[in-house]
Amino acid sequence: MCIATIWMYRAYVMRLQDKVAIITGAGSGIGKATALLFACEGAKVAVVDCDAAGGERTVVEIERQGRVALFVRADISKETDAQRLVNETAKAFGDIDVLVNNAAIFVLKGFDATVAEWQQSLAVNVIGTVLVTKYVVDSMKKRGGAVVNLASISSWIAQNNIFAYSATKAAILQLTRNMAMDLAHWAIRVNCVCPGSIMTPALERYMQERGMTLEQLNADEGAKTLLKRIGQPHEVARAILFLACDEASYITGTHLMVDGGYTAI
């Protein structure tokens, strides 16, 4: 079979056919876009979120496509919830092949963050990521798998007055490297995606809190990128899909910037 024929064939093969995927924070934004894309690519998707209404809407959209999904309401900062969401997914769909650690909270503060806000930021963004991964890998060890963490450009660069958030994203970057080392023996790949400014509910709240219009936000944040615009959730979802599927079979312990060139400037 010639190379051209191979690629024509591959174009019609769903990249996650018969795979089981857990996506946290899938009730909106990047998580929702990823859940919809994974379902289109043949995965059975566990939509995990603490927001029941958002999570259930994502499942409805997936089912309208004729695909399969399950909603699990969970607070990933609680170990009992982390273990339960994995158990419910495995009971419904079988062994887990892909985990996307997307759930996060956005404490966009610096020295003005309270101790309670610091604890919440660390509990969800860092400890929650570890807890869910801990319980998923027991299932993955049987046949390998892929974990994709959501870090950020904030893992890499200094930004004004948001280190209660950026410190947690820097931690995700290092967790990714260490997890990749610890799990390689079982053929479990661990990578992370680092989005820039993406039009998600979190960015919309940021815009509203500062009294900005969408045009002002685009002019302000878009100007910081080479592409001169804010990104969309589906653009991050495609990067997550690549790292989750077999096309990235020799990639682990690294990061992929999805920032429109923000960090290249």
**Please, is 224 exposed, middle or buried when counting C-beta atoms within 10 Å of its C-beta (0-12, 13-18, 19+)?**
middle
> Which part of the chain has CATH 3.40.50.720?
16-196+233-258
Q: What is the fold, at CATH topology level, of the domain defined by 16-196+233-258?
A: Rossmann fold (3.40.50)
Banded pLDDT at 219 (limits 50, 70, 90):
confident
Could you list the beta-strand ranges (E) of the chain. Answer: 20-24, 44-49, 69-73, 98-101, 145-150, 188-195, 255-258
Which residues are part of the catalytic machinery? Answer: 165
Q: What pLDDT is recorded for position 93?
A: 98
Q: What pLDDT is recorded for position 12?
A: 57
Helix and strand numbers (H, E) in the chain are 10, 7
Q: Assess whether pLDDT exceeds 80 at residue 207.
A: yes
**pTM (2 d.p.):** 0.94
Q: What is the mean pLDDT of residues 134-139?
A: 96
CA 35/CA 39 separation, integer angstroms:
6
- From residue 55, alpha-carbon distances to 21, 52, 67, 131, 179 in Å are 15, 5, 15, 20, 28
Are 50 and 223 within 8 A, CB to CB? no
Amino acid code (one letter) for 97 = D
Radius of gyration of the chain (CA): 18
Q: Assess whether pLDDT exceeds 60 at residue 1.
A: no
139-176 per-position pLDDT tens digit: 999 999 999 999 999 999 999 999 999 999 999 999 99
